[in-house]
Amino acid sequence: MIATVGTPHRFRTKRQFWPYCGLAVVTRSSADYKIVAGQIVKAQKVATRGLNRNYNPGLKPVFKSAALTALRYEECQAYYQRLVAGGTRPELARVSVARKLAAVALALWQRQEEYAAQKFCATA
């Protein structure tokens, strides 16, 4: 990760880091408008969603596999179980865990701190 990213200060927030890692959710639409009663009307719902396609291909598998490994530990398992219990599909919950790990890694790297499980649980 360090060799790929270079410096953590390239990203001000985790929301800027997620697309670089391929973990940002994007909305795609090919039909923003529809014709109703002869008038052009903006469509209400954009249906197609997924992860962004323009990303660094080395980082996405790092964080997704780290999420699978982290689910063995109590802190991440509790976060994952809360998401699934709340109605999130398991595969999306795993992506959320990967995002959480990316955000924690970026924050620790920027602040030059050591990992503390209590902080992970507090922000979960």
The two structure tokens encoding residue 47: 């249906």
pLDDT (tens digit per residue) in 27-85? 766 777 888 899 988 877 655 567 778 899 999 999 999 999 999 988 889 999 999 99
Could you tell me if 95 and 51 are in contact, meaning their C-beta atoms sit under 8 angstroms apart?
yes
Domain count, the chain: 1
The whole domain housing 44 covers: 2-24+32-123
Task: Return the residue matching tokens 């249906």.
Answer: 47
- Contacts of residue 37, Cβ cutoff 8 Å, sequence gap at least 6: none
pLDDT (tens digit per residue) in 78-108? 999 999 999 999 999 999 999 999 999 999 9
